[in-house]
Chain A
């Protein structure tokens, strides 16, 4: 044993921990806590893995639900935009009506050509007004029949009012409507079904039981909206439609408002309609002016409910995971009771012990968080690829998942950690 190297207790040593040492102490303790926690988890791999996967599943579920819901929302908004943001729809029915009011709307008068003419004559703001009526009918060409084709009657304003585009040929003119000609424009699905590689223009179709039409143009493919195909469609002049199918359903008037004046236009349309229908001031409107943002409100209410349910499910799963953390931490405290006693004897404060076990809890939950975020994002990507819904992973959700998992560990770790910190050093040392 080297003689000079022995530490001698000095008589007048300053026996206090200074500020510089306090920061060094905090860092040293933190580093040691992390190292010990990592070691403890590695030593009990199975236990840790089970808990981590529990938390991971919880957080994955939460992220998955939120991602899919936001995907729905994005796809709904995209489809809503196909209606045109500045378009008002004057209709007997109000969009998004529940069953309770059914009779009220059912008993309203149809929107007729009189209403249309009144709007054409008296409303100044609209840029275009297109009356639209539709019917489900079968269409035949060359011995081949297609069922459930959306046959629509409208006027030359239809393109302007709906944003549809002509691919080949021409659209209906005012003259087609005035004269009630047999002209028709067909959708992409019809064109594909009847005229693969052939010239459709000038060909004659049978629409419904008895009407014959000549194709004058074809539409650009539009794709699905709200899960419905839109391209299985024939457009004929309104006058020709009434002649063939009658006007039992009434019209929908598609009114295009100038940009930024949607509300004023809506007000004008309402007042012109009330005038045309001679409604007294004390009478309610017996028609509806529908806007796509109204549809959005209804949709938002529905998704809010789904969001709440999704978050609740996620929270419950997270709590289950948190209980798992609490469980392994309690076991860990129990196993390391003597170690806690030794540390306390060597000068560890209660906060030191608290920190050590909190560190372990947070480490477990953060690993669970990472697993969860990865799984959740993966599930979202899968939905995006395999289904028509565009499910995109929101970075906010990812950050929230990570922060949430830290919080989860801290919340469920605090009680076992406190119980460790408040062990009496002597009893901890004697624990067998």
Chain B
């Protein structure tokens, strides 16, 4: 049984005077322990796809099965529970609660799951330990660097032991060096058995994923090895991006490639 089964997913936004198709018939299956990048230009529908996969939104038509459970027309409360139990979100802008400490931020999803205070604390400390932030637990987001904030966000996503880790441009707000650290963290998490879906517009990130899906105008135009799809994506974007891509690849060659 695949973890994610998307069948003929269509999403149309109704703006009143016109209907805007965001996704037109998406069919994608993602198995457990896959690491999939979703690439595409802005407006290609990758955010919409991520919202649907993340159960933040429901498709206009089509079937979405997550761990074998049909979630395409659940009630609002049921969707909230699915998000809590199955999915860990990592956002581009971290989205930490500014007034809460790192530990409290990581504890938050466990509150919604009904974990007792003591267990909550233990699990949150454990998750922060995983992202190597054990010494920053009582810091508030403002007292942390960008990379540390994203680590807290990843700890928050991991603490519930989700079936699926969903990351939306996780390196978008970070400098390239810190971004690289976060990407390494994702690869390590993948090696440990986590399923990760990474939404990105950076070809070099997609190129390092075992699998990538490319969206154009709400349709899947390529689905295959990350490197191939990323290359095709970069070519489609034009010579300038292609040059950047090859430069990145060359630089990559000097490093270890996961």
CA–CA, A175 and B81, complex, Å:
99
Q: Decide: A426 and B161 in contact? CB cutoff 8 A.
A: no
Q: How many whole Å from B217's CB to the nearest CB in chain A? A: 20
CA–CA, A220 and B156, complex, Å:
84
Binds B, one of A20-28, A130-138, A256-264, A408-416: A20-28
Q: Decide: B97 and A17 in contact? CB cutoff 8 A.
A: no
Contact bitstring A372-404, B, C-beta under 8 A = 1, else 0: 000000000000000000000000000000000
- CB-CB under 8 A from A344, the residues of chain B are 56, 80, 83
- CB-CB under 8 A from A10, the residues of chain B are 161
The answer to whether B117 has its CB under 8 Å from any CB of chain A is: yes
The answer to whether A1 has its CB under 8 Å from any CB of chain B is: yes
The answer to whether A127 has its CB under 8 Å from any CB of chain B is: no
Q: Decide: B113 and A6 in contact? CB cutoff 8 A.
A: no
- CB-CB under 8 A from B117, the residues of chain A are 28
- CB-CB under 8 A from B130, the residues of chain A are 1-2, 5-7
Q: Decide: B97 and A342 in contact? CB cutoff 8 A.
A: yes
CA–CA, A79 and B161, complex, Å:
77
Interface band, chain B: 35 or more
Binds A, one of B169-177, B191-199, B203-211: B191-199
Closest to A32 in B: B111
The answer to whether B116 has its CB under 8 Å from any CB of chain A is: yes
The answer to whether B222 has its CB under 8 Å from any CB of chain A is: no
Q: Decide: B51 and A426 in contact? CB cutoff 8 A.
A: yes
Q: Quick one: which of A2, A15, A17, A350 contacts B67, CB cutoff 8 A?
A: A15
CA–CA, A11 and B67, complex, Å:
9
Say whether, besides A339-B97, A342-B97, A347-B83, A1 and B112 are in contact (CB < 8 Å).
Answer: no
Q: Quick one: which of B89, B112, B159, B160 contacts A352, CB cutoff 8 A?
A: B112
Q: Decide: B195 and A28 in contact? CB cutoff 8 A.
A: no
- CB-CB under 8 A from B156, the residues of chain A are 346
Q: Which A6-53 residues sit within 8 Å CB-CB of chain B?
A: 6-11, 13, 15-17, 20-26, 28-29, 32, 36, 39-40, 43
Q: Decide: A8 and B97 in contact? CB cutoff 8 A.
A: no
The answer to whether B2 has its CB under 8 Å from any CB of chain A is: no
- CB-CB under 8 A from A15, the residues of chain B are 67, 85-86
CA–CA, A198 and B114, complex, Å:
87
- CB-CB under 8 A from B126, the residues of chain A are 5, 7
A side interface size, CB within 8 A: 44
Q: Decide: A5 and B112 in contact? CB cutoff 8 A.
A: no
CA–CA, A338 and B89, complex, Å:
14
Q: Which B58-99 residues sit within 8 Å CB-CB of chain A?
A: 67, 76-77, 80-81, 83-86, 89, 91, 95-97, 99
Q: Decide: B162 and A22 in contact? CB cutoff 8 A.
A: no
- CB-CB under 8 A from A346, the residues of chain B are 83-84, 89, 108-109, 112, 156
CA–CA, A277 and B133, complex, Å:
105
Q: Decide: A5 and B80 in contact? CB cutoff 8 A.
A: no
Q: Decide: B56 and A425 in contact? CB cutoff 8 A.
A: yes
- CB-CB under 8 A from A25, the residues of chain B are 111-114
Closest to A25 in B: B114
CA–CA, A6 and B155, complex, Å:
11
Q: Quick one: which of B77, B85, B113 contacts A350, CB cutoff 8 A?
A: B77
Q: Decide: A429 and B95 in contact? CB cutoff 8 A.
A: yes
- CB-CB under 8 A from B80, the residues of chain A are 344, 347-350
CA–CA, A247 and B96, complex, Å:
94
CA–CA, A36 and B163, complex, Å:
29
Q: How many whole Å from A2's CB to the nearest CB in chain B? A: 7
Q: Decide: B108 and A343 in contact? CB cutoff 8 A.
A: yes
Closest to B191 in A: A6
CA–CA, A343 and B32, complex, Å:
26
Say whether, besides A5-B126, A345-B54, A347-B85, A24 and B114 are in contact (CB < 8 Å).
Answer: yes
Say whether, besides A9-B32, A36-B99, A339-B97, A345 and B114 are in contact (CB < 8 Å).
Answer: no
Q: Decide: A28 and B57 in contact? CB cutoff 8 A.
A: no
Closest to B96 in A: A342
Q: How many whole Å from B182's CB to the nearest CB in chain A? A: 13
- CB-CB under 8 A from B77, the residues of chain A are 349-351
Say whether, besides A8-B192, A15-B85, A339-B97, A345 and B56 are in contact (CB < 8 Å).
Answer: yes
Further contacts, 14 of them, CB under 8 A, given A20-B114, A24-B115, A347-B160: A5-B130, A6-B130, A7-B130, A8-B161, A9-B195, A11-B32, A15-B85, A28-B111, A338-B95, A345-B54, A347-B113, A348-B80, A351-B77, A429-B56
22 example contacts (A-B, Cβ-Cβ < 8 A) are as follows A1-B188, A5-B126, A6-B130, A6-B193, A7-B127, A8-B193, A9-B32, A9-B161, A17-B85, A25-B114, A28-B116, A29-B112, A40-B99, A43-B99, A343-B108, A344-B83, A346-B83, A346-B112, A347-B83, A349-B76, A350-B76, A350-B80
B residues with a Cβ closer than 8 A to A are 32, 51, 54, 56-57, 67, 76-77, 80-81, 83-86, 89, 91, 95-97, 99, 108-117, 120, 126-127, 129-130, 132, 156, 158-163, 188-189, 192-195
